Each structure stands twice: as C-alpha cells, then as structure tokens.
Structure 1
Amino acid sequence: EALCFGWIDSTAKRLDDTHQIRRFTPRREGSPHSRANIERLIWLDSEGLIHPKVRPSVIGLIEAEFVFPEDILNEIKAVPEAWKHYQDLTLPYRRIRIAYIDAARDRPEEFRKRLDNFISVTSKGRIIGGYGGIDKYYN
C-alpha cells in the first residue's frame, strides 16, 4: 500500500486495450485524507505495515475518534429495519459510509440522496460495495 510510505495513488487510466497505468506520488503536506484512506491506515497500522518514518505524520489520524453526526443517526433510527441492520455493521464500514454522507452536507440534495440510499440499502440488510478494494477494510 502506497499509504505505508506516505504516498497516494491516482485513479487507474487505460493505456491501451490490455494495460492500465496508475501514478503514485508523495502526499502533499496538509492534504486531507479520505475516511476510506484513514480506515486503510488504521488497518495497515494494526498490521505493523506503516513505515516508521511515516507513522508520526499519520498517528493523529489513526487515533482520532470518529464522531457520528446525531442527525444522521436519528434518520437511520427513524427506520427500524435500517437501524436494526445498521447495528450489525462493522465499525469501519459505518465510519466510511457515514463520513461519505456527511461530506455532502453543504450540498443538501446530494446529502439527502446519499442518506436515503444508505438507509434503503441498510434496511434490506445489504451493504454498499466499495471501490479500489476498500471492502477489505470493512471488517
């Protein structure tokens, strides 16, 4: 994982019919980490995989408590089936999905769309699939 060394990868681009290319670059100092990357860092740290020179720069992210917004939790609680299944979800999955919803707070229509989708999927006892292999960190 590039994060172990303080690097970040870009989206894969198609090079030709059979090859893709992905650029890796050092993270810019002060650039924000997505919740998905924070969960990756938590997992990588638990496995002892983060380079010792990088760990001091990410330990604050790894140890920071995630605060679940009450308004989002209340909306989930308002749908009994969603709340029942929500409580069975892993903590990393909940943090990733709730952070994704919360990130759209300044765009009310998008916020509502994300929250409604999460509640709909969760009430059916399903999870929203990830991208870039993030599902591995849902456990």
Structure 2
Amino acid sequence: MTSSESPRSASVHAATGKFDYPIFHAETRSQWRTWLACNHDSVRGVWLCSWRAERPRCPYPEAVEEAICFGWIDSTVTVLDDERGLQLFTPRRTKSAWTRLNRRRASDMENEGLMTDAGRRAIAAAKSTGWWTIADQVEDLREPPELAAALDRDPTARAHWDGFPPSARKLMLWWIVSAARDATRAGRIEQVVTEAHEGRRARR
C-alpha cells in the first residue's frame, strides 16, 4: 500500500490477530499529522505502517510527538510483511499514565506551536486525575508506603523482593499503583508480598 492510498481495513491479513484497526502508511511526518487531524476524533485506533529500512518513513519519535498533539498514544508493535512494520496508535484512555519522556514531548510540542486542543484536553484530564505523574514512582522504583511496610514486616519477602530485577519490580509496582480502588490496591500488595515470600514474582 502506498502513502497515497486511503486507510483500509486489514482484516484479511493474519499477521497480528488485531487487524480490526485500519492501516495507514505514512512516509513523512506531515502525512501522519494530516491523518491525525482528519481522524483523531472519529476512529478508535490505527496501525501506522512504515517501511522497515532504507525507504522514506515517519521516524518513531516524531510519530509519537504528533500522536501526543492529538491526545493519542502508541502501544503494540508488530510486522505487516518483510518490508513493512506496524505501530498501533489509539486515543489515550482517561487512566493512561504519562512517562517523563512523553511529558517532555508534550511540553516541546506546546512550545513549538504544534499542540492541539485535543492534546491539551488529554493532558488536563491526566493532571486532574493524578495520572500525569503516576508513573514517576514506578520509574524511580519508589515503593508505596503500604508495600514497604508489608515487606519490612516479612524479612524473607523483603530479601526476595530486593533481589528481583528492576524490570520485574517495576511491573509489580505499576500493578499496585494503577489499582482503581483502595481495596484492590491492598489486595495486590498482599499478593505481591505473599508471592515474594516464596521467591516468586506476582503475576499481573
């Protein structure tokens, strides 16, 4: 599919199992921004298709910057064929964490005059709910006080927890801090500590 073709369904392709989203092939940043400007508020997601090597493409960092401008976020990466890769972009959900990098990108886009009202609404929603900075403690490997206290009461669990790789601890920390209710959060902390006592990582 060339960049001049309109987005189409890819349900006939079996490569990912998620081809109920349309595919759009952009070879430049401006093509991607134009698509977002026309479609960001009317579709539930899109596979951004790019050449995998040695041909014009919208670089990943630029694709993410444009998505942020319209209140969208990137997620799954997969392959369409030997020459083309796919990156899934969707509108941000209300409970969607912002990394420091993406907050910096948002600031840059605002300063460069590229941010849209849709992007600003997504940012305002994240700030009002706490999801604007919720990922910071995970990125910094800061334990919530309730988790730290529970681990400290169980030296075996604490020793195992401290021995888990940072990547594993981040996954479990995110599982805890992203809980919507206090009861859910407490239950997840209990499960993490119980599993850590046995030397196991709690499965999300």
- Normalised to the residue count of structure 2, the TM-score between the two structures is 0.37
Q: What's the offset of the Cα at 1:84?
A: 1.2
Match of 1:57 in 2: 105
Q: Unpaired runs of 5+ in structure 1? A: 11-21, 43-53, 131-139
Point out where structure 2 has 5 or more consecutive residues left out of the alignment.
Answer: 1-47, 49-59, 65-72, 77-85, 107-132
Paired residue for 2:155? 80
Asked whether 1:8 is paired with 2:56, we answer: no
Change (3 A) 1:33 1:103: closer
Q: Name the structure 1 match of 2:171.
A: 96
SS at match of 2:89: strand
1:32 corresponds to 2:107 = no
- Aligned residue for 1:87, secondary structure, equals helix
Counterpart secondary structure, 2:163: coil
Give the C-alpha shift of residue 75 in structure 1. 0.7
Judging changes above 3 Å, is the alpha-carbon distance between structure 1 residues 26 and 128 closer, same or farther for their aligned structure 2 residues?
A: same
Paired AA for residue 8 in structure 1: D
The answer as to 2:193 corresponding to 1:119 is yes
- Superposed CA RMSD in Å reads 4.1
Q: Aligned in 2, Cα 1:92/1:75: closer, same or farther, shift over 3 Å? A: same
Tell me how far apart the structure 2 counterparts of residues 23 and 92 of structure 1 sit (CA, whole Å).
23
- Structure number having the greater helix percentage: 1
Runs of 4+ in 1 over 4 A off after TM superposition: 2-5
Aligned residue pairs: how many? 100
The structure that has the greater radius of gyration is: 2
Structure (1 or 2) with the greater strand fraction: 2
Name the CA distance, whole Å, in 1 between partners of 2:103 and 2:191: 35
Cα distance in 1 for residues equivalent to 2:141 and 2:164: 16
* Aligned-pair CA distance for 1:129: 4.2
Q: CA deviation at 1:116?
A: 1.2
Q: Deviations over 1:2-31 (max 9, x none)?
A: 876425247xxxxxxxxxxx9822565x97
| 1:8–1:112 distance in 2 versus 1, CA, 3 Å | same
Larger RCO, structures 1/2 (Cα 8 Å, 6+ apart): 1
